[in-house]
Amino acid sequence: MKNVSLAFLLVVTSLTAVAQKKQTTAASSTPANYAALVAEVTPQLTTWRRHFHEHPELSNREFNTGKYIANYMRSIGYEVKENVANTGVVAVLKGGKPGPVVALRADIDALPVTERNSLPFASKVVTEYNGQKVGVMHACGHDAHTSILMGTATVLKKMQADVPGTVVFLFQPAEEGSPEGEEGGAQLMIKQGVLENPKVDVVFGMHIKTEVPVGEIQYKPQGFMASSDWIKIVVNGKGAHGSKPWTGVDPIAASAQIIQGLQNIVSRQMELTKAPVVITIGAIHSGVRNNIIPESCEMIGTLRTLDPAMQKELHERIKNTVSHIAASAGATADVTISTKTLVTYNDPALVKLTVPFLETAAGKGNVKERDWDTGAEDFSFFGEKTPAFFFYLGAMPKGMKPSEASLHHTPEFFIDESGFDLGVKAFCQLVFDYAGTKK
């Protein structure tokens, strides 16, 4: 019995030693000067971010942003492709050691939002969007994403001889959606072959998150962020004098009932224990005068789902509900639904494999699994073509409650810049450690 116990102890000790050796290998996969190089580039991350923040550009109009990125990447020795997907930039680093092809992506566009804060680098840019004069602002953190990827490119270039495999840097325009009638974003980058030459094995991306504490990384396997559909509903009635509504068909009244009916789809027809569903009407336009019942009413909005089957079902239920409510009022309705993003899907095997690498970068207690998010990302199109992993990087000041954090896509959007270096560490660690799994 003692001999059996001794043999068991020896086996356990041996396995423990192997595990410790693997952990040591993972922790030391980066070159000895890696930490110093990250520290060296860290101040520049803030400088870049503030430059981009002060000079934002809308989707498919990132002309100066793309030029700035391309010029910098050339200055540190990269061969650069410009005007990819209209205004994007792609650069490739061939490492000194054999390994896979890893793509790292950052989005570079801003939003039609007028900034409202006292930051010395606040945007004062004004432009025209959908026929209206609007402010332009990095109200979602794309300026930070761009800076982090530039910093990652800087560090990896200085370690090129030790980099395993090839790294493709994707500076993607138009993540927020191309202007009406234009192509752009991840779909156009893919169409133009950014994942093919060289053939990408895996793609990683991150997003600043104001409700996540600085220094933390959060992720979710499988469905992480929602698909995004844009919906347009045109209700066709019959014009009349406002004093005699019975002589016409009021499209505004019918539209009000339709909006209520759409919310009943969410609350009464969709299986919400399976996955969330959101229907939001963001604008409604009709009529020109107090006492004239107009002939038509137009509504536009967005749909969010986290399950492809539920997305298809939602489309059918919306069309059915809209047509029947319109008919009950004596009106007709046209429904147009266009898909802007897919569900951002994190390959479960890839997540399981690479989360320990993020823990090496951030510390094990700072990498946490979370629930899904009804926000959307066109990074999802990369994941349709190759294994992908997208995660959140914390940007909320320490000590602040998530309920107190500024919201994305709002004039008060604010991020803590002190966690940008973790973004660089995470990307670099993924490059080195993922390659180690392919030996």
Same domain, 240 and 194: no
Question: Token pair for residue 236?
Answer: 């066709």
Same domain, 58 and 134: yes
Same domain, 252 and 382: no
Residue 157 covered by a domain = yes
Q: What residues make up the domain containing 58?
A: 29-220+370-436
Q: Count the alpha carbons within 13 Å of 105 in the hemisphere toward its beta carbon.
A: 32
Same domain, 292 and 376: no
Torsion of CA 410, 415, 421, 425, to 10 degrees: -50
Same domain, 307 and 413: no
| pTM of the predicted structure, to 2 decimals | 0.89
Render each residue's pLDDT in the chain as its tens digit; 439 residues. Answer: 444 344 433 333 444 444 443 443 344 489 999 999 999 999 999 999 999 999 999 999 999 999 999 999 999 999 999 999 999 999 999 999 999 999 999 999 999 999 999 999 999 999 999 888 999 999 999 999 999 999 999 999 999 999 999 999 999 999 999 998 999 999 999 999 999 999 999 999 999 999 999 999 999 999 999 999 999 999 999 999 999 999 999 999 999 999 999 999 999 999 999 999 999 999 999 999 999 999 999 999 999 999 989 999 999 999 999 999 999 999 999 999 999 999 999 999 999 999 999 999 999 999 999 999 999 999 999 999 999 999 999 999 999 999 999 999 999 999 999 999 999 999 999 999 999 998 7
Whole-angstrom distance, CA of residue 224 vs CA of residue 227: 10
Whole-angstrom distance, CA of residue 265 vs CA of residue 231: 15
- The CATH number assigned to the domain holding 325 equals 3.30.70.360
Same domain, 215 and 231: no
Residue 16 covered by a domain = no
Residue 6 covered by a domain = no
Residue 93, beta-bridge partner list: 167
Same domain, 74 and 134: yes
Same domain, 232 and 207: no
Burial class of residue 325, CB neighbours in 10 A (0-12, 13-18, 19+) = buried
Burial class of residue 193, CB neighbours in 10 A (0-12, 13-18, 19+) = exposed
Same domain, 74 and 153: yes
Domain count, the chain: 2
Same domain, 211 and 114: yes
Same domain, 241 and 315: yes
- The CATH number assigned to the domain holding 61 equals 3.40.630.10
Kindly provide the residue ranges of all beta strands, DSSP E only, lying in 138-290, ordered along the sequence.
Answer: 164-172, 202-213, 217-219, 222-236, 240-241, 277-285
**Which alpha helices (DSSP H) does 159-295 contain, by range?**
185-191, 251-268
Same domain, 192 and 257: no
Residue 362 covered by a domain = no
